[in-house]
Amino acid sequence: MREVAVVGIGMHKWGELWGMSIRDMFTIAARNAMDDAGVNNIDSMYIGCMSGGLFAGQEHLASLMADYLGVLPAAAARVESACASAGLAVRQGWMEVASGISDVVLVGGVEKMTDITGEEATFALSTAADTEYEGYNGVTFPGLYAMMARSHMHKYGTTLEQLSHVSVKNHANGALNPEAQYPFPVSLETVMNSTMVAEPLRLLHCSPITDGAAAVILCPVEIAKKEFKDHPLVVITGSGHATDTLALHSRDDFTTIKSATIAAQKAYRMAGVGPEDIDFAEVHDCFTIAEIMVTESIGFFEAGQGGPAAENGITSREGAKPINTSGGLKSKGHPVGATGAAQIIEITRQLRGEAGKRQLDNPRRGLAQNMGGSGGSSLVHILEVK
């Protein structure tokens, strides 16, 4: 199996992009990644998209995007795993390069979420849950994560203040990210007094509806060393993928994300490292409780200690284990099909030393964790600078 390097990254500013179509966004992000790598041609590409049909009325994205990107007849495929679609696209591309099938592969994701009503968007997102049981009974994702939050609070004493510190920290990071949807800080008081969505979760505990795309270029390390010398060499050293029950009510424990635990264990084993060896991470903070639970599930903190870690600044940029330096889904935005690729971009930028005002001090190894729904699927990738 060949080692795989990240040689190109591309995004655009995320937000409510009324003047851009789904094809525009993906083409811009993909061209930015190709320009960053200095390539004009690719062997294949994988496009993460959760619900192009419901959000934008467009299916068969593979042919459409390959055409508008100008890379026909390169092999192209759409990948779907709810909010983990782009993370899965990264893994599919990584496997194709590692196996020797292709040398230059574009992976990424896109979602156009704002061209429909809020009610329609809520329905589209709810299809990432168990439609016949959870959806039929009226449960939406804020409700599901509210139940997870209440369970975590009951079991471990996690507080509303700790949930709110996650939002404050991520907005402080996102304020330094020019591509973020909401690049401004928020106070603890503002978060805790924001509009109630699903008790105990308030509006500023929840990620937004976002239009956006992100793309990454992968190739074998031996080729990267010879042909892609404009940036420090960033290598994907570990990749893990796991699934869990789709319905929350089918799980033994609401306070942990089992799919994230297993995916992380696989990635750690492949990379030959443990959670203590990770310098920083981008994790899936679709709701602030999700960040707390994931940091525990992937072994950064003991069960019940994710909340205190956020409250005490351990997960801040200046802390011992920085989390979501990009601003995370909370501030950067969450175009569900693109999020996993954007996480890889932030890890790569930090490892290259290209993160601007939010740059960490000489990080050497980062982790990206992307999940679908309430944890029904999870991807973990470990990246290192060589």
Supply the CATH number for residue 20's domain.
Answer: 3.40.47.10
User: What is the mean pLDDT of the segment spanning 98-114?
Assistant: 98
User: Does residue 229 have a pLDDT over 90?
Assistant: no
Sign of the dihedral defined by the CA atoms of residues 193, 194, 196, 202, in that order: negative
Q: Where are the beta strands (DSSP E) in 60-116?
A: 75-79, 105-111
DSSP class of residue 195?
Answer: P
Same domain, 165 and 73: no
User: What is the mean pLDDT of the segment spanning 316-330?
Assistant: 98
When divided into structural domains, the chain yields a total of 2
pLDDT at residue 268 in the model = 98
Q: Choose, from 49, 83, 206, 219, the residue flagged as catalytic.
A: 83
Of 97, 114, 119, 118, which Cα lies nearest the Cα of 106? 97
Q: Whole-model pTM? A: 0.97
Distance, CA of 243 to CA of 210 (rounded, Å): 25
Of 295, 270, 276, which Cα lies nearest the Cα of 285? 295
User: Does residue 131 have a pLDDT over 90?
Assistant: yes
Same domain, 242 and 138: yes
Residue-range definition of the domain harbouring residue 376: 125-206+237-385
Percent of the chain with pLDDT over 70: 100
Same domain, 52 and 134: no
Of 271, 343, 345, which Cα lies nearest the Cα of 37? 345
Distance, CA of 375 to CA of 95 (rounded, Å): 23
Same domain, 22 and 75: yes
Distance, CA of 308 to CA of 288 (rounded, Å): 13
- Say whether 83 is catalytic: yes
Distance, CA of 379 to CA of 282 (rounded, Å): 12
Rounded to a whole number of angstroms, the CA Rg of the chain reads 19
Same domain, 20 and 149: no
Cβ count within 10 A of residue 264: 29
pLDDT at residue 29 in the model = 98
Same domain, 327 and 340: yes
Banded pLDDT at 110 (limits 50, 70, 90): very high
Q: If residue 381 lies in a helix (H) or strand (E), which one and from where to where?
A: strand 377-385
Please, are residues 348 and 381 in contact by the beta-carbon 8 Å criterion? Answer: no
Same domain, 75 and 154: no
Q: In 104-159, which ranges are continuous DSSP H helix?
A: 118-126, 141-156
Same domain, 271 and 355: yes
Q: List the end-to-end C-alpha distance of the chain, in Å, as a whole number.
A: 18
- Say whether 334 is catalytic: yes
Same domain, 173 and 274: yes
- The two beta strands, 44-48 and 105-111, are parallel
DSSP class of residue 117?
Answer: -
Same domain, 144 and 18: no
Same domain, 180 and 215: no
Q: Using DSSP, state whether 206 is helix, strand or coil.
A: strand
Q: Choose, from 12, 171, 205, 334, the residue flagged as catalytic.
A: 334
Same domain, 285 and 343: yes
Domain boundary among 234, 249, 279: 234
Distance, CA of 3 to CA of 142 (rounded, Å): 39
pLDDT tens figures, 38-97: 999 999 999 999 999 999 999 999 999 999 999 999 999 999 999 999 999 999 999 999
User: What is the mean pLDDT of the segment spanning 255-262?
Assistant: 98
pLDDT tens figures, 263-286: 999 999 999 999 999 999 999 999
